[in-house]
Homo-oligomer: A and B are copies of this chain.
Amino acid sequence: MSRGSDISAGSRLNYTGDFLAGRLRANLPEGDLEYIESLVTQERCLTDREVLLRRGQLANQSAILVEGFMFRTMDTCDRRFIVGVHVPGDFVDLHSFALKRLDHSLVASGNVRVGLANHSRLELAMRERPSVARAMWFATLLDAAIHRKWIQMLEQLDAPQRIAHIYCELQTRLGVIGRPVSRALRMPFTQLDLADMCGVSAVHANRAVSKLRETGLAEIRRGTLYTNDWPGLQRYAQFDAAYLYGEGPLKRNESWD
């Protein structure tokens, strides 16, 4: 089963503030970012495919993704489905705090570092700082908005477009937390991961990757996406960043005004 976990405890962890709670930053009053950071009293490292929290497990702490990427997965006997991807700065299992048991599992994609906050401290934090409670609610709302976009994506797009859309979304979300846009978007995904995100077979994911390569818009090699034409790729995927409510460094996209 999952191995390689590494828990290092410290009463005070030192974050830069650059990406921790990245998606919350713009909505936080003065001092709240530091306050949220102070809730994180432990760190844990995971390796590729290691499970942070399994569906149905009880949790007494919640995790914020500090470095790396994670999947939300729902599994059946013979297949895994990825229903969401997370980038640094995301609270990945905040709902384990309110719902007690998760309806899905949280799995590392590549090497990952998370910060952990005890539920008892979160409980206290939400009571004594309404603005923090609000920020967490906002994070949940943004997750829901991303979920809705995935639903539309699955309803509307074919496999190559879905893959393009996923990379466009990740590129934008990484931009929000301050990662520079470059020609190469480095992701630890296999084609099977892409297949499980798109709801297609591994063989068809390979066909989709090939088709993207043929169009000349993007080339995906071992998870890393190379492109010289981000605008073209976004058009191809019918990607519109408005649903990400681009707080942070990214300009709010007012395309629906």
A residues whose Cβ falls under 8 Å from a Cβ of B: 55-56, 72, 74, 76, 79, 81, 83-84, 95, 98-99, 101, 103-104, 126-127, 130, 133-134, 136-138, 140-141, 143-145, 147-152, 154-156, 196, 198-199, 238, 242-243, 245, 256-257
Contacts and interface: CB of A to CB of B under 8 A. Distances in A.
Given A147-B144, A238-B76, A243-B103, A130 B137 contact: no
B199 A141 contact: no
A256 B148 contact: no
A36 to B, nearest CB: 16
A243 B29 CA distance: 34
Contact of A83 (B133, B148, B198): B148
A156 B98 contact: no
Nearest to A245: B99
A133 B130 contact: yes
Closest 9 CB pairs of A and B: A155-B199, A147-B147, A56-B256, A154-B154, A103-B243, A83-B151, A144-B144, A83-B148, A74-B152
Given A55-B256, A101-B256, A245-B99, A79 B147 contact: no
A196 B152 CA distance: 10
A199 B150 CA distance: 12
Given A140-B140, A144-B144, A256-B56, A98 B152 contact: no
12 contacts: A56-B256, A76-B238, A83-B155, A84-B148, A98-B137, A99-B145, A101-B256, A147-B147, A147-B148, A147-B151, A154-B154, A155-B198
- Is chain A's interface secondary structure helix, strand, loop, or mixed overall? helix
A187 B15 CA distance: 52
Contacts of A257: 56
Contacts of A134: 98, 126, 133
Contact of A98 (B79, B101, B130, B141): B141
A199 B158 CA distance: 11
A95 B138 CA distance: 9
Contact of A242 (B76, B81, B103, B150): B103
A218 to B, nearest CB: 22
Contact of A137 (B103, B137, B156): B137
Contacts of A126: 130, 134
Contacts of A99: 138, 141, 145, 245
